[in-house]
Chains A and B, each alone.
Chain A
Amino acid sequence: MMDSQRLLEQVESTATVLQVIRRSDGYLHVSIGSQDLLSCLIRARTETGFLVLQLISVVDRIEDGKFQLTYILENPDDSSILILSALFPREGCTVPTLSEIWPAAETFERELHEMYGIDFPGNDRQDEEFILEGWKDKPPMRRDFDTLEYSIRMFGERWPRNHHDPRQFIGERVGEWETPMSGEEGS
């Protein structure tokens, strides 16, 4: 298992590390500046042995107007994990493609292009339909897309559903509901 301290130093030598999100043995998750992302990923692959791209994911930070792109890399020799996150502006989001480096990245990017509307210039297949077919609304995984409203508008309901707020519903059933651990959050 690679020491996460040594790994952190190596990442710091290529990129500006903004925040260490989580670290333990053989697991390092850092957030870096978006301008360093590509160089850092290439360096992790060529020099540190993180040959496998596990996942490209996006978190919609709608309140900041940003997309957080997360790249999860794995070193197949010792199975350690390196996760790099970078923030990109939400409007007109353009992210460099990795399909030249990892062939599997092409598929991940196709999905993100469809689900979030992120542009990956250089990925030839990003405009091909992947999961959805003939989708006309805004990209569905964005936080501001209301899936319940869309579902009722498009597909209708057989009969109107009773929606219960679980807190209220259980409270009515049980009477006063105790919250034993609500005071100890964030421990």
Chain B
Amino acid sequence: MGDPDVRGGGVMSFDEATDPLKTTHLFFGPQHPGVTGNMSIEMWFDGDEITKAVTHVGYLHRSFEKLMERRLWIQNFPLVCRICVPEPDINEECYALAVEELDGILIPERAKWIRTLVLELARLGVNLMAFGGQAGTIGLGTGAMWGITLRDFILDLFEELTGARIYHIYITPGGVRRDFPEGFSKRVLHVLETIEERLPEFDRLILNNSIFLKRTVDVGVIPPEWIAEYGLVGPVARASGGVRDVRKDAPYEVYRELDFEVVTESGADIYSRALIRRREIDLSISLIRQILDRMPEGPVAVPLPNFTEWRVPPGEVYTRVESSRGEYGYYVVSDGSLKPRRIHVRGPSYVHAVPLLERMLVGANIADVSNIMVSLTTCPPEIER
């Protein structure tokens, strides 16, 4: 990892770190199989050690925030889910929470449980993909394949419940779009069993693999003091000993009633972050079981005002939800008209992929770049939106 003083990023000046006589200039991405999504890193390195890294984002900028100001409150639901591709439900949840808080809508009890179940299923899917993907970056493609295959079972459940594999548009203000189909809980449990059956094999493949250990232990270390400095959230903070989980700190929906502990590790390296993902899989499975056990009966949605006349009362609100990458926030401003005044999406990757990654990469080896990137599970669409 190089000299710890250099890793701070403050020792070398920009000119020194990018000296054309001493360093080589390299672009990593956007067309690169190791990059998460569509983003790129411009880096300068001396030998094998990176002296300076600059993240470039904006390849996926669709100006969601501008478009949402032009659409009715309800028309924004198909838009918000597209902000994060692997886990769209958190966006719907965040936006629905904000609209409900502004308009004073109270949702039925069963809708809350269903929402929590959907969020946990989505988290389970992403964590399976991310845990396997971590192995994929160092050449263990089998792990990545297994993760995606297991996630497909969950996508099938989503398809049955919502009609779509990826973009569900299921969590709407006032509840959820429709109730469970017949026998759905049984099929959820069956999928959980299938996943649980394969997990020990997964562990043997990845966590006990000596090459994986060699490439991840003590690589990409994030010191705990960076958590507050950069505002790190989610698995990245939890792997460095920070106990930050919105599900526990500011519970939404029914997380207050569920029995769980925040998963933390203290290794602060890539291995710890992979371990967090692995333990989050167990946690999600246990939460889904609890939810299915205790789900009450009843209606799943309350009637909403006429969408074309729906004026949400003026106000400002900031809502937070825990995604698989950490805290996800929506700052929603209404001025009492038919359309929102301003919606600002705060994705966890915003700080993870730009300021943090630029600092982490200084002193790292070139071969570890995509490894580090994937361990932060950066999701570019939520940076540029």
- Contact residues of A with B, CB < 8 Å? 21-22, 26-27, 29, 51-55, 57-60, 70, 72, 74, 76, 78-79, 81, 83, 85, 102-104, 106-108, 129-133, 140-141, 143, 145, 147-148, 166-167, 170-171, 177-182, 185-187
Q: Which residues of A contact B48 (CB under 8 A)?
A: none
Given contact pairs A141-B65, A167-B308, a sample of 20 additional A-B residue pairs in the complex whose CB atoms are under 8 Å apart: A22-B316, A26-B250, A55-B344, A59-B333, A59-B341, A83-B316, A102-B230, A102-B231, A103-B230, A129-B58, A130-B57, A130-B58, A147-B67, A166-B75, A166-B308, A170-B308, A177-B308, A178-B306, A179-B309, A182-B305
Check if B66 sits within 8 Å of A79, measured CB to CB.
no
What total of chain B residues lie within 8 Å of the partner, measured CB to CB? 51
Check if B329 sits within 8 Å of A72, measured CB to CB.
yes
Residue of A nearest to B307 (CB): A166
The reply to whether the CB of B354 lies closer than 8 angstroms to some CB of chain A is yes
Q: Which residues of B contact A179 (CB under 8 A)?
A: 305-306, 309
Within the complex, which residue of A22, A52, A74, A79 is in contact with B317, where a contact is CB–CB below 8 Å?
A: A22
- B330 to chain A: closest CB distance in Å? 10
Q: How far is the CA of A178 from the CA of B303 in the complex (A)?
A: 13
Check if B66 sits within 8 Å of A29, measured CB to CB.
no
Residue of B nearest to A184 (CB): B305
Q: Which residues of B contact A51 (CB under 8 A)?
A: 228
Q: Which residues of A contact B344 (CB under 8 A)?
A: 55, 57
Within the complex, which residue of B57, B228, B313 is in contact with A52, where a contact is CB–CB below 8 Å?
A: B228
Check if A148 sits within 8 Å of B313, measured CB to CB.
no
Q: How far is the CA of A26 from the CA of B250 in the complex (A)?
A: 9
Check if A133 sits within 8 Å of B58, measured CB to CB.
yes
Within the complex, which residue of B72, B231, B249, B307 is in contact with A104, where a contact is CB–CB below 8 Å?
A: B231
Within the complex, which residue of A70, A107, A170, A182 is in contact with B355, where a contact is CB–CB below 8 Å?
A: A107
- A110 to chain B: closest CB distance in Å? 9
Within the complex, which residue of A76, A131, A147, A185 is in contact with B311, where a contact is CB–CB below 8 Å?
A: A185
The reply to whether the CB of B146 lies closer than 8 angstroms to some CB of chain A is no
Q: Mark B59-93, 1 if CB is under 8 A from A, else 0.
A: 00101011101101001000000000000000000
- A136 to chain B: closest CB distance in Å? 16
Q: Which residues of A contact B311 (CB under 8 A)?
A: 185
Check if A141 sits within 8 Å of B66, measured CB to CB.
yes
Q: How far is the CA of A103 from the CA of B230 in the complex (A)?
A: 6
What are 29 A-B pairs at a CB distance below 8 A? A21-B316, A22-B315, A26-B250, A29-B318, A54-B231, A54-B327, A55-B346, A58-B342, A60-B342, A72-B331, A76-B244, A79-B246, A81-B318, A102-B229, A104-B231, A104-B351, A106-B355, A129-B58, A131-B58, A131-B61, A132-B61, A143-B69, A167-B308, A170-B308, A177-B308, A180-B303, A181-B305, A182-B306, A185-B311
Residue of B nearest to A56 (CB): B344
The reply to whether the CB of B242 lies closer than 8 angstroms to some CB of chain A is yes
Q: Mark B303-339, 1 if CB is under 8 A from A, else 0.
A: 1111111010101111010000001010101001000
Residue of A nearest to B230 (CB): A104
Check if A107 sits within 8 Å of B350, measured CB to CB.
yes
The reply to whether the CB of B227 lies closer than 8 angstroms to some CB of chain A is yes
Check if A79 sits within 8 Å of B250, measured CB to CB.
yes
Q: How far is the CA of A71 from the CA of B48 in the complex (A)?
A: 40
- B53 to chain A: closest CB distance in Å? 14
The reply to whether the CB of B253 lies closer than 8 angstroms to some CB of chain A is no
Check if A29 sits within 8 Å of B329, measured CB to CB.
no
Q: Which residues of B contact A141 (CB under 8 A)?
A: 63, 65-66
Residue of B nearest to A70 (CB): B331
Check if A132 sits within 8 Å of B58, measured CB to CB.
yes
Residue of B nearest to A147 (CB): B66
Check if B57 sits within 8 Å of A76, measured CB to CB.
no
The reply to whether the CB of B384 lies closer than 8 angstroms to some CB of chain A is yes
Q: Which residues of B contact A166 (CB under 8 A)?
A: 72, 75, 307-308
Within the complex, which residue of A60, A107, A182 is in contact with B351, where a contact is CB–CB below 8 Å?
A: A107
The reply to whether the CB of B104 lies closer than 8 angstroms to some CB of chain A is yes
Q: Mark B33-63, 1 if CB is under 8 A from A, else 0.
A: 0000000000000000000000001100101
Q: Given contacts A55-B346, A59-B333, A76-B244, are A104 and B313 in contact (CB under 8 A)?
A: no
Most buried by B among A58, A106, A185: A185
Check if A186 sits within 8 Å of B313, measured CB to CB.
yes
Q: Which residues of A contact B249 (CB under 8 A)?
A: 78-79
Q: Which residues of A contact B318 (CB under 8 A)?
A: 27, 29, 54-55, 72, 81, 83
Q: How far is the CA of A104 from the CA of B352 in the complex (A)?
A: 9
Q: Which residues of A contact B359 (CB under 8 A)?
A: 103
Q: Which residues of B contact A171 (CB under 8 A)?
A: 308
Residue of A nearest to B228 (CB): A51
